[in-house]
Amino acid sequence: MTTPVPDDASLTPPPGCPAHGLGTEGLRRLYGPEAEADPAGLYEKLRAEHGEVAPVLLHGDLPAWLILGHSANLTAMRTPSRFSRDSRRWTAFQEDRVTPDSPLMPVIAWQPLCVFADGEEHKRLRGAVTDSLNRFDRRGIRRYVTRFTDQLIQDFGPAGRAELVAQFAEHLPMLVMTQVVGMPEEYGPRLVEAARDLMKGTETAIASNEYVVATLRRMMERKRVAPGADLVSWLMQHDAGLTDDEVLEHLRVVLLAANETTVNLIADTLKLVLTDRRFRAHLSGGHMTLPDALDQVLWDSAPMSLVAGRWATGDTELGGQQIKAGDMLLLGLAAGNVDPAVRPDLSTPLYGNRSHLAFGGGPHECPGQDIGRAIAETGIDILLTRLPDIQLAVPEEELTWTSAWLSRHLTGLPVSFTPRARGEGEAGAPGAVPSTAQAGPAATVPAQAGPSQAAPSAAPAQAVTIPRQRRGWWSTLTGRFRR
């Protein structure tokens, strides 16, 4: 993940970029206390001060433009001739102002994948991803979700209490994605930790990214010898002729994007069900379907607050702002979804309205949104069916969120319900989906430090053998909460 830099690069911001005129001291930061405490409030301050497009600062006080308007976001998404996805165009890269250890690097450093490509190259790479994802039977995805949801409920059901973010939402998507990608389930725990750390842009984000990459490389090596009906194998076999690096980077972006967005979608939907009586009554009474409910959440709480980014191919204008060639633009999905121009009254329901920005738009619209929705819909439906009297165990005002520059994450959702005996209505019970939780053949997993205690990437990886009879990792994780 390196970006070529000209030898004669200047360290002076180009004329007309956000760093000129206003000066960095006059710009609001998308990181730090203000942004993390109330990102929605920050977006509204920026909208009031600058309109549809606002100058902001990223980590390292690097200037960028944040798109706040719904229409302006769609313009940037749908016109790649003006707003490219190739991050190598960024002036900050050209001038060597982005340090190698910047928390921005895992997200915006150019990589050989469709997310950073335009035109014919984008069609080639995107086609391989779309074709491979479309090979999955949606009913098969739902069977995975059913099995893993049952397993998670089995662990916390007997207690009559649970914390649905830590014990449910943060684990279900990655459990399902390990099956989609073709990984052993034992890879799940560290991937969950690394994915969350990477998306937060913490000081260990680089080490977390290296762990994800190393894990995927091992999977590719295994699938080259023994291919299967999974995303790794299908991308490697696709007629587009993807290189190993291209396969690797597409696996990484699918895995991380699917996990982060679906975790937030599940958590925010369950929070709405548990705190809004009318919403829950409409849902349980059949006046609103779960897919409709998800769309309301996608309007009000976009799983990704913003997406980085687009880069101006030449001098242009957007939202009344003069954008210079090489400037970075951030897609403000959350801000665009509450744009007064399209939502003058935020209390008006938008059930079933899918013109939100949550999955992007244009040629780079999220290719895995159907899988993400299937995971969320099925998991939430089964949870509410298994635990019909589930209710919030703390006052709503005690719920808290953590925010990073890319997303906002509900930290906890404590609930209570009637205790359930193990296996009651779940896998193994009459009519339930048979459980396949027993571990398969022994797998080799690196004993590498997790993201919170990352080891230097140059250190030789040690390996440990997972015994054939090792219990599922969700049981190990949720067991911590019963101690």
Tokens 């957007």 found at: 318
| Contact status, residue 161 vs residue 393, Cβ threshold 8 Å | yes
* Whole-number CA gyration radius for the chain: 22
User: 19 is written with which tokens?
Assistant: 């760093």
Beta-bridge mates of residue 163: 414
d(CA 197, CA 301): 21
d(CA 252, CA 233): 14
d(CA 220, CA 226): 10
Question: Which burial class, exposed, middle or buried, applies to 480 when counting CB atoms under 10 A from its CB (0-12, 13-18, 19+)?
Answer: exposed
Handedness of CA 456, 462, 467, 468 (dihedral sign): positive
**Pairing verdict, β 307-312 and 83-84:** antiparallel
| Contact status, residue 422 vs residue 428, Cβ threshold 8 Å | no
d(CA 262, CA 376): 6
Which pLDDT score, from 0 to 100, does residue 426 have?
56
Handedness of CA 27, 4, 220, 247 (dihedral sign): positive
d(CA 30, CA 38): 11
Tokens 């959440």 found at: 297
User: 411 is written with which tokens?
Assistant: 């930290």
User: 384 is written with which tokens?
Assistant: 């509410």
Q: What is the DSSP string of 249-267?
A: HHHHHHHHHHHHHHHHHHH
Instruction: Output DSSP code: residue 352.
Output: T
| Contact status, residue 205 vs residue 256, Cβ threshold 8 Å | no
Q: Is the peptide bond before 309 cis (omega within 30 degrees of 0)?
A: yes
As averages over each run of 10 residues, the pLDDT of the chain (483 residues) reads 39 42 70 87 96 96 97 97 97 94 88 92 95 87 93 95 95 88 77 72 79 90 93 96 92 83 94 87 74 90 92 98 97 97 92 90 91 94 95 96 85 96 57 33 32 34 30 34 32
Which pLDDT score, from 0 to 100, does residue 444 have?
30
Q: How far is CA 417 from CA 56, 153, 275, 276, 428, in A?
A: 45, 12, 15, 17, 22
- All domains in the chain, ordered by first residue: 121-298+349-482 (1.10.630.10)
Coil/strand/helix, residue 416 = strand
Q: What is the DSSP string of 59-110?
A: TTTEEEEEE--HHHHHHHHH-TTTEES-GGG-HHHHTT-S-TT-TTHHHHS-
The amino acid present at 323, given as its one-letter code, is I
User: 310 is written with which tokens?
Assistant: 């687009």
